[in-house]
Amino acid sequence: MLMVLTRQTLLAATWRRCGDCRGCYRRACLVCGRMFYAGRPEARYCRAACRQRAYRRRLKVRLRLGGASRSAHRRTVGLRTRDGGG
């Protein structure tokens, strides 16, 4: 029998053995709902695409509520990144 060791299978085995401790946390992604194993307790998304989708949703809601245009938001973000301030 051939056993393929991937990050996912190793984290699943660690979680079955130790539960939510020692660097292995079982979570549900807030965007797609998929179960995943994280190395950090504060992880909320299963992959970068879900993290980006959540950011774009938050941005869309913020723009709708605030009434600011997208170009105004880009100018604000650009100013913050150039001078290093936040």
Surface-to-core class of residue 45, CB atoms within 10 Å of its CB (0-12 exposed, 13-18 middle, 19+ buried): buried
Q: 38, 31, 46: which is closest to 11 by C-alpha? A: 38
pLDDT confidence tier of residue 44, bands split at 50, 70 and 90: very high
Q: What is the pLDDT of residues 62-81, one digit of tens each?
A: 998 886 555 655 655 555 55
| The predicted structure's pLDDT at residue 2 | 76
Residue 63, SS3 per DSSP: helix
Q: pLDDT class for 82, splitting at 50, 70, 90?
A: low
**pLDDT digits 0-9 by tens, 9-39:** 777 777 777 666 666 788 899 999 999 888 8
The SS3 assignment for 25 reads strand
Q: Coil, helix or strand for 60?
A: helix
